[in-house]
Structure 1
Amino acid sequence: MASTRRVCRGIANKVVFAILCILSAYLLSKFLAIVKRGMLISTSDDVIFTEYSLERNFSNITVPARRLYEKNGFVSLQFLNLGYVNITKSWICNVECLGILPRVLFITTDEEAHRSLSEWKPELNVVLEKFGDGKAMAYGKVSYYRYGLFRVQVINRLLRKERIPVFETEADSYWLGDPVAYFNRYTDFDMIIMHNGCADMIPSGVINGGFLYLNATAGTLRVWNKLSRRIASVLARYDDKEKDIGIEGSEQIILGKILQSDRLKLQWLPIEKFTSGYWYMQAEVRKKADPIVILNNYINGNGEKVKRAKRWGHWSLSEEGDICIAEACRTAL
């Protein structure tokens, strides 16, 4: 009788083991399917799996980025879609006499933007990495922050895998000099950053997310990977890309919070040299500032940005959108 029970228990154990093997295989197949679609977000600060990073190695970007890095010691990046082409063209006209453009890699995210920019000035460094639908995006919408996450993760790839320092800029700005020449006075920093805001010429202590120089240090890599993970975690909660989530997905706000607890060697740029959109709004700022760069922020919508730039003589592109305004690069305040 005892031997019969032992035989039965042995058979039962084998059946249970077989069921567990089948179940494990099933769960593993589901897990791999999710990973293949790039929908799993890790809770680790060291790894992030999203649709933007898992299935792409960004070779369209990393190869030319490395070429520019080997020549210049860093790569300057600008991202744009079709809705941002004319603003980018105006910026190109604004800076073309400063010797900046050979260092810039323009990352277009739709075919029309790529064609428009590369055919307009073939000498530019322009690549295509498809993302989104090419339409203008409104601040606060999920689609806006998804594009921001894409940008963050491209930079993460260049920092983490390629060890390339990145100077991230945006075209909704007006430059009166080469900021990199100013950066040369700063050494041994993880990040060189700009104040966002500065009403009445008072330092805001809030980082601007569109004007950053990132050295590929261990600290920068750690913080930037946290930034990727946390933005992805926020956006994973929303399916409607047109939903307005306020500042919840803001790259610069999330980055600022990370830096409150993860201390890096930061160099803040002087507010009189690198000013925000308050330059347009406050006479006191204009009086005290001697800017190298003026950001055209604190205003919503590309159309309103263009109107403001034209009103202040900071628009450098013809009405037809194909010719630089004469001497636009040398226009002073």
Structure 2
Amino acid sequence: MDTCTVIKHFFRKRSIRYGILVCFAFFIVLKCTSIGNTTVLYRPISESNIHMFGYKDDEHLSYNIKDISDARSGVKGNTLSDTMNEVLNLARNISSYNRTVLVSIINNAYLPFAYSWLCNTKAMGVHKSVLVITTDNESKIKLNRDWPEVSVFNLKLDMPHGDQICGRVGYLTIMVRRTEIILSLLQANIDLFLFEFDCVWFSNPTPGFQKRSGVDMLVNLAYKSAEGNIFSGGFLYLFATNRTKALWTKLTKMMWKLEREIKDKPDKKAVSNRQDDRTFLSKLINKRYANITIQLLNRDVYVNGRWYKMTNAKRQKLHPIIIMNNWILGNKNKINRAKQWNHWFLRPDNTTCDLEMVLPASYKTKAESHNSCVSTVCHLTKLRIHCQAQHILIPTVWKKFQGRS
């Protein structure tokens, strides 16, 4: 046998051996990388922005929800996928209108606050930017019927009902779900303005917020403590940057841990004030987690509920755009205080707007307003001046009265 024949015979056998080895190695790789019935070689990109409610894996954050069930609610992963697709679609439609989505979550007991705020802001052109997340379907039906411009999403999970007090188990359970939804929207690159309905607006701050580029968050300082600044969790503007997403992912994990600790406790059970979304958020911001950058909002313009307890002299020095009706416990107490200050915009049926109250919203109590302006003419004249100063549209009721005088 000549040299050429020997060489050909050797390489022919070697090629067969190599082919067998390659096939065997490929089989091992496929076997080792399989996950259930799905291999890592196929993971649809379209699911990368879908975040699963209540997924409690502290080691990594996964957005693939197939075949995963939520043990707490008993809802299958596919249902959760449909839920998140629905809320994401709503949010994307809203963001196409004016980029920012204004997000607030309510249960049935908080519905009157939503109605009052919607009456308050009726002439501000903001309703198309609002996404209301309800924990019950009845609230969704009512809002869709009475406020068709507002987008409403019903969170179809087992959630606490009735008056939920800040710092109690029921309230924190709702905040866990809110935190998860916010993470999903941020992952979809949607800028968010988180707010709550227990407040009065004198003008729409959103256009001003949108211009403050170059930072990750606009935050409102609630108060200072020995452990650092405490920021409001219910008044927060989030730009969907990578740093914001990283911080909110960490916050979501902290809220999941809290949920595990309180899941067997009654809704009315008080929880330590060091264990809530606001405290967790403040710690992460103070630590500059993920190199987060923030800008503080002016507390004289966006004021918290302490404003109601200020002296008249101090209040007169401030001209806030928004007054938050916080720093008081209980929905009934909040409503009574709002009514005392002409900051409640509903008639007794809790559905119909009180048009006589929508624009007289001011910085004075009912008694002070009456004493400083006895006649109707005087009252409406001052109202008109106030409205023009705040760039608020003057309603038909003023024009009708003006025609009579």
Please classify the TM superposition score into its range, dividing by the shorter chain length: 0.7 to 0.9
Measure, in 1, the Cα distance between the counterparts of 2:314 and 2:176: 32
Deviations 1:1-21 (CA, angstroms, capped at 9, x unpaired) = xxxxxxxxxxxxxxxxxxxxx
Query: Rg bigger for which structure?
Result: 2
Q: 2:305 aligns to what?
A: 277
Higher relative contact order structure (alpha carbons within 8 Å, sequence separation ≥ 6): 1
Q: Unmatched 5+ residue regions in structure 2?
A: 1-35, 37-51, 364-405
Match 2:270 to one of 244, 252, 257? 244
Measure, in 2, the Cα distance between the counterparts of 1:176 and 1:45: 44
What TM-score, normalized to structure 2?
Answer: 0.67
What is the correspondence of 1:85-234 to structure 2 with a 5 Å cutoff? Answer: 85-131=111-157, 132-160=159-187, 162-197=188-223, 205-234=229-258
**1:303 is aligned to 2:332:** yes
Q: 1:17 aligns to what?
A: none
Q: 1:322 aligns to what?
A: 351
Question: What code does the residue aligned with 1:154 have?
Answer: I
Deviations 1:253-304 (CA, angstroms, capped at 9, x unpaired) = 1101111221311011111110000110112651332101111000001111
Asked if 2 retains the 8 angstrom alpha-carbon contact of 1:142 and 1:240, the reply is: yes
Deviations 1:163-195 (CA, angstroms, capped at 9, x unpaired) = 111111100011001111322441111001112
Q: Which moved more, 1:48-57 or 1:137-146?
A: 48-57
Measure, in 1, the Cα distance between the counterparts of 2:156 and 2:106: 11
Measure, in 2, the Cα distance between the counterparts of 1:225 and 1:64: 22
Identity %, equivalent residues: 27
Query: Displacement, 1:127?
Result: 2.0
Q: Unmatched 5+ residue regions in structure 1?
A: 1-27, 29-36, 199-203
Question: What code does the residue aligned with 1:43 have?
Answer: D
**Residue 98 of structure 1: SS of its match in structure 2?**
coil
Question: What code does the residue aligned with 1:240 have?
Answer: K
What TM-score, normalized to structure 1?
Answer: 0.81
Q: 1:109 to 1:99 in 2, by over 3 A?
A: same
Deviations 1:288-323 (CA, angstroms, capped at 9, x unpaired) = 321011110000011110000000110001111121
Deviations 1:85-131 (CA, angstroms, capped at 9, x unpaired) = 00110010011111111110111110121122222223322221224
Measure, in 1, the Cα distance between the counterparts of 2:206 and 2:176: 25
Measure, in 1, the Cα distance between the counterparts of 2:125 and 2:222: 26
Q: 1:66 to 1:224 in 2, by over 3 A?
A: same
Asked if 2 retains the 8 angstrom alpha-carbon contact of 1:93 and 1:328, the reply is: no
**Residue 326 of structure 2: SS of its match in structure 1?**
coil
Measure, in 2, the Cα distance between the counterparts of 1:110 and 1:61: 15
Measure, in 1, the Cα distance between the counterparts of 2:332 and 2:60: 38
Measure, in 2, the Cα distance between the counterparts of 1:292 and 1:216: 25
Q: 1:218 to 1:138 in 2, by over 3 A?
A: same
**Residue 179 of structure 2: SS of its match in structure 1?**
helix
Cα-Cα RMSD = 2.5
